[in-house]
Structure 1
Amino acid sequence: MTLLTAVTEAARKAGARLLTVHSPSARPSDRADLFAAVSRNDAVALDGLRAELAVARPGAGWLEDEQETTELPPGEWWAVDAVEGNVNHVHGLAEWAVTVTLLRDGVPVLAVVHQPIGDHTYTAVAGEGAWLDGTRLRVSAKRDLGAAIVTTGQAESGQTATYRRIGDSVTAMLGRALLVRVSVPSTFPLLLLANGQNDGFWQYEPVLSGLAAGLLLATEAGATATRIDGSPWRPGSPDVLITVPALHEAAVAALSSVG
């Protein structure tokens, strides 16, 4: 069994377990109810997933919460969001998934995103392209930012300055792009970018487990990924910009006014 096959099977099993506790009629009544359901989902998804990944790649480390916004040590690391879009799940929505990424020396090299509702599986291996259910993905051919759909999203920062930058960046893009969206979680706009249905994504204070899989899928489909100022992106970078190649320079310019 190849590593990609093993990871895909593990993600699909975790997704199947999450389906058993998903209800389209779910409506948490308050924050306590919401977070109890979120914790339950994490436990359900991780039951077996972490052990299966450890068997698939015994030497790889497991990304802990405190490492999600810092530079990673050398070696291989699993960046896993067992319920990407957990808040969507507990509100009965369909936009949630299991995401698994293997990083090697800070670079994503393998990714699987399994979306149980609809039974869709996205996969990517560095240098081998991005795929959805066996069909190769490619970014759009857009060359004009004024014709582009771009997206940003809220990360887990809690800092007023970050919230201000998010708002300022949306304002900056509203005058340049065709359509500006704000979406949570970050994986889904990156899947659309990889599939040519979205043209750019940026985020301040990104969390690696929510970013890594979509970043690899988008870049393997032909996108360009950097920091917002155009400099190289690495785990721990305080922001990220991922676009269709022909739009990257214009996107950097559009966001350059955000302090």
Structure 2
Amino acid sequence: MAGHDVELWALAEGVEAAVRVVGAGLAAGRPTDPAPERTAEEAMARFAALDGPAAAELRERLGALRPQAGWVPEELDGSVPAEGEWWVCDATDGAVQYLLGQPHWAVTATLVRDGAAVLAVVHAPELFGAGRTYRAVLGGGAQLDGRPIAPLERELAATVAATSQPPLVAVDPVAVRRAGESLSAMVGAVLAVRNLGPTALQVAQVGSGHLALFWQYGRDAGNLLPGALIASEAGAAVTDATGAAWTADSDSVLVAAPGLHADAVGVLRAVS
């Protein structure tokens, strides 16, 4: 293992420990019943009261591990700094599911260097009861609960694909239209299409074979960076919807097992 990989894996262990502590606190504080708030404003106020302290704790713990890295706010405008080291994190990725009392939410932490992810941890504290944890470092592979992972190859017609709606931070009408068109196209090509909650977790699940492919339209760097690194290091193809290389500035993403990728690109060609 290269020297920088050893350093990053050592850091990843500390990041995972920090993420687990924050996740445990959030899980302990989440009611089992759905939040009763009736409006979006009321729901967001309730969420902020829980997420705010968790985000502050995550920032403190990660800052202690890598004090030279800056901190990018969770609510991004779809971009990340192009230079330097930055933490891009989400204390509660999957806020909707969290508030509804569902287990499909995660804590994510990504170290970005010069605009690209070099370390990522995605921890789902309540998934499958005991929780699941993905982590990866650039050039060092990806793991799920400490075991190496790889995507699974299936025929497109036998796959379960996942997607998510364009991010709400800055709704792009073109991305919304493409999301609808692509859903119509993909539904006729695969076994099933699902939206299982947190974007980062769904993308990571392509890397472990729990999902066959994931696509989305709209710039969404904060949510996509951790899962994209994990999936890529696991061996999945990570591009935009046209098959070009994906970056934090891309306006779409397609993540798939290598043998499925070309077929998925073909399906999405129907989207204008």
User: Where on the TM-score scale, by shorter chain, does this alignment land: which range?
Assistant: over 0.9
Most deviating of 165-174 and 44-53? 44-53
2:33 corresponds to which of 6, 14, 25: 25
Deviation at 1:67, TM superposition (A): 4.5
Determine if the alignment matches structure 1 residue 53 to structure 2 residue 62. yes
Distance 1:159 1:28, change over 3 A: farther
1:72 aligned residue: 81
2:159 corresponds to which of 140, 148, 158: 148
Alignment of 1:46-195 (within 5 A): 46-64=55-73, 67-70=76-79, 72-117=81-126, 118-142=130-154, 144-154=155-165, 155-156=167-168, 157-195=170-208
The alignment's C-alpha RMSD in Å is: 1.8
| Whole-angstrom distance in 1 between the partners of 2:125 and 2:76 | 27
| Whole-angstrom distance in 1 between the partners of 2:171 and 2:123 | 28
Deviation at 1:114, TM superposition (A): 1.5
When the two structures are superposed, what TM-score results if normalisation uses the length of structure 1? 0.92
Residue identity opposite 1:113 in structure 2: V
Residue identity opposite 2:146 in structure 1: G
Deviation at 1:71, TM superposition (A): 5.2
User: Structure 1 vs Structure 2: percent identity of aligned residues?
Assistant: 37
Q: What is the CA deviation profile of residues 11-54 of structure 1, one whole-angstrom value per residue up to 9, with x for unaligned ones?
A: 11111221232111132331233111211122131132112212
Distance 1:215 1:72, change over 3 A: same
| Whole-angstrom distance in 2 between the partners of 1:206 and 1:183 | 19
Determine if the alignment matches structure 1 residue 4 to structure 2 residue 12. yes
Distance 1:73 1:228, change over 3 A: same
- Matched residues, number: 258
2:210 corresponds to which of 197, 207, 219: 197
1:25·1:91 contact (CA, 8 Å) conserved in 2?
Answer: yes
| Whole-angstrom distance in 1 between the partners of 2:267 and 2:232 | 21
2:110·2:119 contact (CA, 8 Å) conserved in 1?
Answer: yes
2:3 aligned residue: none
Q: What is the CA deviation profile of residues 146-197 of structure 1, one whole-angstrom value per residue up to 9, with x for unaligned ones?
A: 2222111012243333222111001111222222223432123223212212
| Whole-angstrom distance in 2 between the partners of 1:27 and 1:49 | 24
Structure 1 outlier segments of 4+, above 6 Å? none
2:203·2:214 contact (CA, 8 Å) conserved in 1?
Answer: yes
| Whole-angstrom distance in 2 between the partners of 1:11 and 1:71 | 21
Q: What is the CA deviation profile of residues 89-121 of structure 1, one whole-angstrom value per residue up to 9, with x for unaligned ones?
A: 111111111000111122211111122222322
| Whole-angstrom distance in 2 between the partners of 1:44 and 1:176 | 43
1:28·1:90 contact (CA, 8 Å) conserved in 2?
Answer: no
1:76·1:103 contact (CA, 8 Å) conserved in 2?
Answer: yes
Residue identity opposite 1:252 in structure 2: V
| Whole-angstrom distance in 2 between the partners of 1:5 and 1:188 | 19
Gaps of 5+ in 2: 1-6
When the two structures are superposed, what TM-score results if normalisation uses the length of structure 2? 0.88
